[in-house]
Amino acid sequence: METLIKCPSCENTIFQDFIRCKDNTVSNEIFEIVKCNACELLFTNPRPKIDDLGKYYESNEYISHTSSNKGWFNRLYKIARFVNIRSKLTTIGNKRGNLLEIGSGTGELLDACKKAGWTTTGVEPSDRARINAKKNLNLNLIEDVDKAELKDKSQDIIMMWHVLEHVPNLKETTEKIRKLLKDDGTIIIAVPNYKSYDAKHYKENWAAYDVPRHLLHFDKTTMAKALNKSGFRIIETKAMWLDSIYVSMLSEKIKTGRRNTLKAIGVGMLSNINGIFKTKEYSSVIYVAKKDFKKL
Ligand SMILES: [Zn+2]
């Protein structure tokens, strides 16, 4: 295990205990999440060493890396994924050019972008996901962004859907994407939001804490600070409406051992309504950002 002595975003050295969560997917180990006193970023601390992280992804239940058709839950998941892909394409927009996706999973979104006319590059560290992307969609995903041999300032869009929360080196990652992005390019980052209604409702059972796979846990303010620090300014934020329901279903399962579908849908919808009318802190938030030349 590795204990961080500095906040991965602002480098402040004073944290407080925030919550303790169990890894419900793979190891059943307990992990501590701490909160930075300065920027309020949450991070899993201590966390597995980088070389040990891979083993926490080895599970058949880690659904985002599978393409199984078995069971109604997986089928429903696939329908939701289709709806999600359509809505992600809307966020990506109609412009065409070079698009880099970091964390492509099994490649469904990247494939849709390719078919829509983008020149695509997909990066995915999981061998199993890359093999599935090749087998199912004939997509060649690259293991590591450094192996993609992309030129500086070459990408019109760089997107990370539910990826930044997994990243061990926040600063290195944001610096890398800034380098690869054209000066007028756009980044799209989606992450869970620990200030959402569903997060507060499920507390340590909130599925999107997903320790230790999730190393960083953002809300809107902490993301704005992290991106500002790396030379970006947020131009738009959006909700991911279905995520609140999906995460609530997983959280019900963790909390009670049952899926309690109707209750989960209720909590998910309350989270969306709460976001719309009160806090704007949705279950998962999409951040659209541009380079900020005033900052650097
Ligand atoms: Zn901080």
194 pLDDT more than 60: yes
Under DSSP, is residue 216 helix (H, G, I), strand (E, B) or coil? strand
Query: Binning pLDDT at 50, 70 and 90, where does residue 61 land?
Result: low
pLDDT at 72: 78
Separation of CA 50 and ligand 1 centre (Å) = 20
pLDDT at 68: 59
Separation of CA 47 and ligand 1 centre (Å) = 17
14 pLDDT more than 60: yes
Across residues 101-130, what is the average pLDDT?
95
pLDDT at 95: 86
Separation of CA 40 and ligand 1 centre (Å) = 6
pLDDT digits (tens, 9 = 90+) for 78-104: 788 888 899 999 999 988 999 999 999
Across residues 47-72, what is the average pLDDT?
75
Separation of CA 166 and ligand 1 centre (Å) = 17
76 pLDDT more than 90: no
Separation of CA 226 and ligand 1 centre (Å) = 8
Q: pTM of the full predicted structure? A: 0.93
pLDDT at 75: 80
Separation of CA 213 and ligand 1 centre (Å) = 20
Separation of CA 43 and ligand 1 centre (Å) = 9
- Cα three-residue angle 133-138-139, rounded to 5 degrees: 60
Separation of CA 12 and ligand 1 centre (Å) = 5
- Comparing CA positions, the residue from 130, 227, 136 lying closest to residue 187 is 227
How far apart CA 145 and CA 101 sit, in angstroms, is: 9
pLDDT at 106: 92
Separation of CA 274 and ligand 1 centre (Å) = 27
Separation of CA 14 and ligand 1 centre (Å) = 9
Query: Binning pLDDT at 50, 70 and 90, where does residue 65 land?
Result: very low
pLDDT at 48: 97
| Order of all β-strands in the sheet with 15-22 | 15-22, 30-36, 42-44, 216-217
Separation of CA 90 and ligand 1 centre (Å) = 32
Separation of CA 121 and ligand 1 centre (Å) = 32
Across residues 33-39, what is the average pLDDT?
97
Under DSSP, is residue 169 helix (H, G, I), strand (E, B) or coil? coil
